[in-house]
Copies of this chain bind each other. A is one copy, B any other.
Amino acid sequence: MIIIMEPSATKEQIDTVVKALRNKGFRIVLNQGDVMTVIAAIGDKRLVEPHSFQSYEGVRSVKLIQEPYKLASRECKQEDTVIEFSNGVRIGGLEKPVLIVGPCCVENDIDGLLRVADAAKEMGCHFLRGGAFKPRTSPYDFQGLEEKALEYLAIAREKTGLLIVTELMDTLDLDLVCQYADVIQIGARNMQNFKLLKAVGKCNKPVILKRGPAATIREFLLAAEHIMYHGNDKVILCERGIKGVDNTATRNTLDITAIPVIKKYSHLPVIVDPSHGTGRRYLIEPMAKAGLIVGAHGIMMEVHHDPENASSDGAQSLPIPMFKEVAKHLNKLIGRIDYDNKHSKEGVSIV
């Protein structure tokens, strides 16, 4: 921790800060410049709330040196985390990227869901996604079928062998969702719902944690840290678009750079959701490819048997025939990517 004092800070003010830091177990290095004094405090940030030092008279600013997450960091664990599922599918590290597809929302029409699941299986995908509980900006929009949706997903799993990804919105529903899901999704708007993070931290299902639309990489990794801190280290990070400067041409700004950045700072697997990330069907394929070429461990895409009548997100869902085309192209690209002779952190090559 670096504490920068105001140019006008008095010797007494500086001494007060130094004394308080020493009392809290920090080793101090004092750097007196011509204009201002800088205090370097070396020790474990967990001992204190660093920003509390901004409260002292004469302090201009406090800068952290070390990233405040630990379990999620590369420093803590050099090798990539690879999550393995009962059927042998693996996510992370140098494993072949996975495709996670399905409708935004599970709807009353189970046949539609099964048609999507069949197409997903046919195209070599390993995961079926679908919402049972839906976070909706408006209370007048469809809120999800809840348990019935979970049952439908289980039927689709039975028929196809696909693993199930579904969102948990409330700690009250944790047991129910755990009964059905293979992977629990935490939505972008719940990225800092800390009670929910704690709850999934205490169960042992893999978790897909979506990045909040205004979250920095640090806040994102700290949210993962909450889950890991409570005991669950099977966290998959998902970039799904942030608030950028243009919300007309696209729904969000998909931050593709976040993939290699996260791979540098964390050992956790990271995937991309180009459906939410762009909100436009025509952008799903190019942005999925962009995710793969920078080293994403998976792509999550919305696919619907009848997008024009979808209860949500139709505009960013692929109809089944278009999905097959897109999946074919993505599989071709995956086939060309060389994952064998490279450290995951350094991205991927094309053979």
Given contacts A49-B141, A229-B139, A282-B264, contact A257 B248 (CB under 8 A): no
Output the residue of A140, A172, A214, A261 with the most chain B CB within 10 A.
A140
Tell which of A95-103, A120-128, A149-157, A217-225 binds the partner.
Answer: A217-225
Interface assignment of A344: CB less than 8 Å from any CB of chain B: no
Chain B residue, CB-CB nearest to A220: B246
Interface size on A, residues (CB 8 A): 113
- A287-303 CB mask vs B (1 if < 8 Å, else 0) is 10110011100000000
Copy total for this chain = 4
The distance in angstroms between the C-alpha atoms of A3 and B61, with both chains bound, is: 17
For A52, list chain B residues within 8 Å (CB).
307-312, 314-315
Interface assignment of A117: CB less than 8 Å from any CB of chain B: no
Given contacts A138-B222, A225-B139, contact A20 B308 (CB under 8 A): yes
| A residues adjacent to B (C-beta < 8 A) | 2, 4, 7, 20, 29, 31-33, 35-36, 38, 40, 42-43, 45-46, 49, 51-56, 63, 65-66, 68-69, 75, 133, 135-143, 169-172, 189-190, 192-196, 212-219, 222, 225-226, 229-230, 242-250, 253-261, 264-265, 277-278, 281-283, 285-287, 289-290, 293-295, 307-315, 317, 329, 332-333, 336, 347, 349-350
